[in-house]
Every structure is written in C-alpha cells, then in structure tokens.
Structure 1
Amino acid sequence: MTRGLKLGFVLVVGLIAGISVGVLYARQTIGTSSNWMSQWAAVGTYAELTNLQYQYADEAHARAALSDFVKFAEQLRAKGTISDPKTFGFDVALAYMRLAMLDRRAGNMDGYQANLSSAQDALKAAGSEHTSADEMERFVSQHEPHR
C-alpha cells in the first residue's frame, strides 16, 4: 500500500469514528434537553392553569385544582424526574400555601397547619431559607392579586 492510500484510509476511518461519536453525543444531549423542556413546560402550564382556577373559580373548584396539581407534583417527585428543582419547589410551595389560605378562611386550622408545613418543606427542598409562617404568608400574598 502506498503512503497516500494508507493516509486516506486512516482519514476515512477517523472521519467515520468522529461522526459516529458526534451523532451519539448529540442524540444524548438533545434528548436530555428535550425531556427537560417538556417537563418544564408541563409543570409550568399545569401551575398556570391551577393559578387561573384559584383566582377565578369558586372555593371548591380552586381547592380541587390545587389538590390535583399537588398530586401531580408528588408523582413527578416520586419518579425522581424533576428537571428544575428550584422552580418546581416554588410552584409546589405556592399551591400548598394557597390550600393553607383556603383552609384558614374556612376555619380549618389543622388543614392550615398541615398545608403550611408542606409548603415549608417544598421551599426548603428548593433551597429557600425563608420558611417561617410570616414569610410564607408574605410569599403567597405576593402571588395572589385577585383572591
């Protein structure tokens, strides 16, 4: 074999190997990003729908929407597939705090305490240090202009 032919052969083999590795890496990277964006969009859309229900529906429907969102969030947490733990934690904490506020307005102080505690846990999991009852109520009051 001539030197040029050997060099050409090595070049083709290297090119094929490089393309193969590049395709595998891109597939993995794009797949991960796609999964992350899909989950982020699903949680965000569901949280916004819950927000609209909370703001404009009667108390029973607001409570049902918040409870459904919390169940959905807990299923995601159980699967261990949370792509953005901080945003996820804030969405879950807000839902629990809104449930707590509904309980307090209804005079259900046990429900208020249970949901307040769950909201505090969600914020702690998201990395927040501001989890006192006063800070939690301030947090929810910043996010509920209509109720």
Structure 2
Amino acid sequence: MILNKSNSDFIGALTSSLCLLHCVCTPFLFIVQTHAISHGVSAPFWWKMLDFVFLIISFVAIYWSSKSTSKRWLKSILWITWLCLCIIIINEKVAWFSIPEYAIYLPGIGLVLLHLYNRKYCQCQKDQCCAIHTEKPM
C-alpha cells in the first residue's frame, strides 16, 4: 500500500494507534526487562527504535493529510500535535526535562482522533476542492 492523499488518514490513524499500543506495552516490557537484566539480557534494540519508526510514518501521513484536508485549522493542529509527540519522544531518549509518562498518550490519542476526523469530514473529492473550499484566514 502506497501512502498518498487518499489513504494518509487511515495510515496516520493506524500508526498513531500502534504507537499508543507500543506506549501501553512499554511499562510491561520494563517489568520483564527488570527480570531479564538480573539474568544479563537487555531490551531489544528494535523495540527502542519503534518510537522513531512511528514518528517517521506519522510525519509522512500528516504531510499527505495536510495536503488533502479541506480545513486549514486542522492542518495546523495535526502538525502541532505531531511536534508535541516528537518532543516528548526525543525527551524520553535524552532526558532534557521531567515529563510525566502519561504525557505521551495525549498527542498520540490526538493524532488518532484528528486523522479520523479528517478522514470523515474534511476530505477533498477533487484536487481543486481544497483550494476552493479552504477557510479564509481571519
């Protein structure tokens, strides 16, 4: 399946949902990891890198969704939400400042809901509709 304007919201919602599932599973992995460390095993590298895989896929999905949405405000909120998610994930890796663990769920859930909303209510049927029907800035 190729990511394009017609399926970017589906891919974005799916990726954000998988990201949330990854975030929910991670504390359980830490419990298992505590036991594994006592036996000399650490968390798999691929599990640690899933955050960045999700970020890259969601970036592409938001890029295409923002090109096809009929609502200018939705485009901005998608990018702001993605940026929040990106900052939280990078902060988890480098520990710039203390953020509660549950904070990652807010932008994750936000992206799922925004992609679903965009898919249902804001899709252009023709290439020209976004140029014709976009909201005018105030």
Normalised-by-shorter TM-score class: 0.3 to 0.5
Pick the structure with greater CA Rg.
1
TM-score computed with the length of structure 2 as normaliser: 0.39
Q: Which has the higher contact order (CA 8 A, sep 6+)?
A: 2
TM-score if structure 1 supplies the norm length? 0.38
